[in-house]
Structure 1
Amino acid sequence: MGEVSRGARAIVICPDIKRQAYDLDAESRLEEACGLALAIGIVVADAVVIPVRDVKPNTLFGEGQVVNIDTQATLEEAELIIVDGALSPIQQRNLEEKLKRKVIDRTGLILEIFGERAATAEGRLQVELAHLDYQQSRLVRSWTHLERQRGGFGFLGGPGETQIEADRRMIRQRMSRLRKELEQVRQTRALHRARRGRAPWPVIALVGYTNAGKSTLFNRLTGAEVMAEDLLFATLDPTMRAIRLPGVEKAILSDTVGFISDLPTQLVAAFRATLEEVTAADIIVHVRDMANPAAAAQKSQVLGVLADLGVLDQEDGTSEIPIIEAWNKWDLLGSDSKTELSELAAGNRDILPLSAETGEGVEEFVAEVDRLLTAEAVSYDLILPASAGQKIAWLYAHGHVLSETDGGEGADGPLRAVSVRLTPKEFGRFESLSAQSS
């Protein structure tokens, strides 16, 4: 078998195993699998759902089904078979021998995407750890084909033969080192979060199913050129930018990795540090692709991940962090769908229909985020020296000044009486500034 690279033609197969519960129906899973393949630059020559009554330990599929796959792959001139499910090392090896083609399963495909998309040192550490965890039981020639395309982004110092010759001891040692490095990353992130808490700029975290439009919304709100394509997993590393809202001088907007159904356990663990950013947010914005027929199932997946992170209560689904839903891709909906969804959203301030692509509804969305961030604002009556122009200017910039009047005479000169609404965080910052300048 030759190496497979970007542009390779593939047959995408979604096994529909009887007596196995799925969150999405077979056609939706097949469509998602095709999206994953396209995200890594693979050409989908054909895509098919194959019912599996009895799982064959050696090949997953029955003999006749394997023959049919081989025939179709030959007709379509496909050099790669993608199975949207988990293959055991034995099943993968046997299928490759029978089909004389490269075979990868869902986990292997997602690892390839993660390996290509991870842009920061932290992301690469996480991908490498996930890959090695997966490789422990698969010390066979596997998953090096696209590493070559990436120009040497290998998991044990380099692609190709190094990967093949690696033994379990080397992998365990490397994983141990990676875990120590990642723990250091987690501690650093915790320090950064603590620093932001003291700073303390409010944090707005965008979460949602992959390809829901988070990065497009992020770009519209910040003007940043974050990768925003119609691809699954377009964002892997959290990106943060400062934005200004009507009642908040500065807030931090965080764009996070998209969630997906049946995310391999190795990846859930490896990317936990990335997702932990969500737990430090002041507001969580759940961006949903309302044009997707599987929107309800996708919402369930996202809420499941948030529950795993401890953001949602496992029993009643409540959250201490306010969560609002941005019903995105409104521009792609027909008038009947818009009417139906508008009725569902009516009277619910936590649901905001919008189009990140066209900008429709974004102004209302910003206003609601601003309202939530300033909901805890309290009125303070302050007496300040008239000479404290900087402090008074700061109050105008960071709070909502209700009135400013003559405060009479003080021991050191004239005073100003300022009535201002500030959030507890902003008032804490004002006190810190006052202490520093006194």
Structure 2
Amino acid sequence: MPTMSDFSPPRLALPKGFGVLLVLAIILASINLRPAVTSLGTLLDPAIEDLQMNGFIAGMITGVPPLCFALLGPLAPRLTGKRGPELVVIAAMGAILAGILLRSAAPETWTFLLCTALALAGIAVGNILMPVLVKRWFPHKIGVVTGAYTTAVALGASAVAGVAVPVNDMLGGHWRIGLAVWALPALLALAVWLVVYLGLRSQIAAQHGEFGRNHVQAATIGPMYKNPTAWWVALFFAGQSSVAYIFMGWAPKIFADLGMDPIEAGALLAILLGVGVPLSFVMPALAARFTHQGPLVIINGVAGLIAVAGMLTFPLEGAYLWVILLGICGSNFPLALTMIGLKAHSAAGVAKLSAFGQSAGYLIAFPGPFAVGALYEVTGSWTSPIWLIAALIVFQTYTGIMAGRPRYIEDQQRTQVR
């Protein structure tokens, strides 16, 4: 029977300075996992006008990223098993770079959509690969390195959303240039990953041989859809993703409709996202110290439910407190990503769990923001949508407690075989 050591990643000596360079490469790749989406959101109106998009197409562009992540993410493990995650992440950064640049030059709507899909494909693969790379190269520092890259994801989302319009104005006010400039971080990430790949060819080759053997071992785990831990991770990821996308899409409108000045309501979203930046670093480090991550999930869930209760009773009087608490609840995102790295013994196992957990999670989460909009449309009030958010927070708390139990996908498969 395989033991824990059979699944341990190899400990290969890195050339001096390359450990820091690897962390930097992972951080730079992570920074690029949201700007293609958030920069478009802030510059969507002039793009709609110039390309003469109809309302359906515009709505599809803003709502489709989670669906693309769900549908395209499963490509990552298959590509990684053949080429190794380092080469695949280079291709992902290249896809993001090309997608952003080509989109900015698209002459009509459907070309614009196809180029956006190319960038989203790179993001989807990158989403899956980050936990794999952490497990592969830093198996004993999962919490710290996961915290670094999830903080980078949060910074990439919030910073670009906040500065995209001023940067666009500074560059002359043309939306095409304003979108194209966000290809520069992808170009930098691509360059650093090429240096990593060329500088670590021998170590990567040795790692890939071990990764291939682990990939064969991981194949014995069986389908993830038959694995209870994989499903709990996927459901937890779905719950937190649904709540996160609801607030990213609807929070300013909710508070504005409740009587707040629209500019102040927009600032609340920046605060909500800003709270998540330091927590994105702290939460993974804490999670790695717990054998059961349930207590952290409960703390986040209680914070979210207090915020929702406040929004139903004193929405404006305590608005700043409510969004801070919602930002705390939002730290379930880095917690979910950390769980992916902690619930499999090998990097190949993490690849399978990451692909299933994130893809299934995003697919399940996809209807959430649309359901909130539909409830508001039908009822003409935010009360029912806020109750739906409360139910989703309860759901993510329960599934997070179950996902956080000290279980491994490989162990559960062996138990089933017995």
Report the TM-score when normalising by structure 2: 0.24
**Quick one: higher RCO (CA 8 Å, sep 6+), 1 or 2?**
2
* Structure with the bigger percentage of helix: 2
Report the TM-score when normalising by structure 1: 0.24
